[in-house]
Amino acid sequence: MDDQKDLAVMLRSRIPIIVIETRDESRIIGMLQSISLTSIGPSYMPLFRWTVTDGLQRLDIDLAPQTVNSAPADVLKHMRAVEKPGIYVLLDFHPFLEDPIHVRLIKDICIRYQEIPRQIVLIGHAVKLPAELDSFSARFDISFPSETERRNIVKKVADEWVSENSGRRVKADAKAHEMLIRNLAGLTYSDTERLARNAIFADGAISSSDLAEVMQAKYELLNRGGSLQFEYDTARFNDLGGMERLKDWLSKRKSVFTGGADVAHLDAPKGIVLLGVQGCGKSLAAKTTAGIFGVPLLRLDFGAIYDKYHGETERKLRESLHTADIMAPCVLWIDEIEKGIAGRGGETGTTQRVLGTFLTWMAEKQSQVFVVATANDIEALPPELVRKGRFDEIFFVDLPDPGIRAEILRIHLQRRKQEPAIFDVASIVGATDGYSGSEIEQAVVSALYTAHAQNQSLTTAHIIAEVQLTHPLSVVMREQIEGLRQWAGGRTVPVN
């Protein structure tokens, strides 16, 4: 194992403190035991583990825990007093690093390292060293299981199911099996095994129905910051009225995005900007993109990223983008991107750093993350964000024409168990000139309420009456929308 070899090299490099941030502590302990047991001669060092609950315990030989050394100060004083070399693994010690006495005791041990090599390995989910100890330390990053290792983990779990079920074989669809191995990427060994067990032990099979549950569970494990939202319901081709040019553009790139040997020479698509009139289907187009590609949809919430503390906003963004990388292949939907990047009042310094972080990620990302950014005001976006190379294309979503309005009307009627053939679609389409897709949907919803209150079936007259009671956004905000449409002409690609 490369990780074990790298860790062994770091232990031999005479670094007093090694910091390992991980939630898979059992794997690290196993690696350290293996390194200790294979060491011979002068390089051999005893291995100890400390927890606040069990105290100090020898790991390379079978000895009971020394509960007398359970207090942090006691174990550090014991380590400082010992005149023999050793490796001391301190689990979840990070809360005690704020105590100046503990810091001084650790520093004493580090200063005398050349005389007596007592090595400290700090393991926890997040370990922040005081400045006094930084110069004595190095960090070790444990890698996630490789594809071969994930395959072995899935096989191990399948073998366990077989042994527990009288030798019955696990039913496995070949394509679903490969997708399961692929979707488990980016998780620790223990999490990989747990999700594989959930998929197999539920019904003794590996099928396409398991994949969505695995991705949802994976997202919940990764997204502890809450800045990303997992959109469970993606849309299908037929859920989106019109936008034929966008659908065709996405369909041509699907095979390249999902990957394969026959498309290895082609650059993977990066993403698109959807600019347009509010309520005309930009959000639905983002969901449809994930549906067309057949991958999960993540929504980045800039409102949850911004933080009053210096540096926290950029950290949250980096963590969110890292989570998207691990969830790949996926679609990352950034709704109303101009509100998160184009400026937030007095936070100009923060927004500039956020923009820089996002642009760096866009330029350097190697993962299969397709970005769909929706915007209502592209003039508020910095040019370095929307230039060619960042996104593949800028599409403009305009108010629907009569044909698309008819298609949208039929979709919303069918979704609510209404038969479009019994309605005068042409009359409704004529009455909704200048209406967006969401406004047509709302007219249908309001008409259904009215018909229900009158104890009647929905009719054309109900829908037209609701349409005539409202004024569309294209009338209420005529100047702004006309300005947007004029700007987009000749600068963007229409979705229809």
Share of the chain above pLDDT 70, in %: 91
**pLDDT at residue 340 is higher than 70:** yes
Share of the chain above pLDDT 90, in %: 25
The dihedral built from the CA positions of residue 373, 375, 381 and 384, taken in this order, carries a sign that is positive
- Helix, strand or coil for residue 283? helix
- Selected residue with higher pLDDT from 194 and 383: 194
Each residue of 381-406: pLDDT tens digit?
Answer: 777 877 777 888 889 888 888 998 99
Pairing of strands 55-58, 47-51: antiparallel
Each residue of 409-445: pLDDT tens digit?
Answer: 999 999 899 999 999 999 999 999 989 888 999 999 9
At 36, the pLDDT band (50, 70, 90 cuts) reads confident
DSSP string, 411-463: HHHHHTT--GGGS-HHHHHHHTTT--HHHHHHHHHHHHHHHHHTT----HHHH
**pLDDT at residue 347 is higher than 70:** no
At 244, the pLDDT band (50, 70, 90 cuts) reads confident
Among 113-122, 250-259, 415-424, 430-439, the range scoring the smallest mean pLDDT is 250-259
Cα–Cα distance for residue pair 256/268, rounded to 1 Å: 6
Helices of type H across 69-188: 72-81, 100-111, 131-134, 147-164, 174-183
At 232, the pLDDT band (50, 70, 90 cuts) reads low
Given this model, what pLDDT does residue 90 score? Answer: 95
Q: Which of 131, 72, 81 is nearest to 102 (CA)?
A: 72
Given this model, what pLDDT does residue 344 score? Answer: 45
The dihedral built from the CA positions of residue 461, 465, 468 and 470, taken in this order, carries a sign that is negative
pTM over 0.75: no
**pLDDT at residue 65 is higher than 60:** no
- Selected residue with higher pLDDT from 75 and 492: 75
The mean per-residue pLDDT over the stretch 341-348 comes to 54
**pLDDT at residue 68 is higher than 60:** no
Among 100-109, 168-177, 261-270, 281-290, the range scoring the smallest mean pLDDT is 261-270
Given this model, what pLDDT does residue 135 score? Answer: 92
Given this model, what pLDDT does residue 413 score? Answer: 93
Cα–Cα distance for residue pair 276/398, rounded to 1 Å: 6
Query: Is there a contact between 299 and 210 (Cβ–Cβ < 8 Å)?
Result: no
**pLDDT at residue 299 is higher than 80:** yes
The domains located in the chain, with CATH, are 2-139 (3.40.50), 147-222 (1.10.8), 237-397 (3.40.50.300), 402-476 (1.10.8.60)
**pLDDT at residue 238 is higher than 70:** no
Given this model, what pLDDT does residue 342 score? Answer: 61
- Selected residue with higher pLDDT from 70 and 66: 70
Q: What is the mean pLDDT of the chain?
A: 84
**pLDDT at residue 34 is higher than 90:** no
At 345, the pLDDT band (50, 70, 90 cuts) reads very low
Cα–Cα distance for residue pair 98/429, rounded to 1 Å: 68
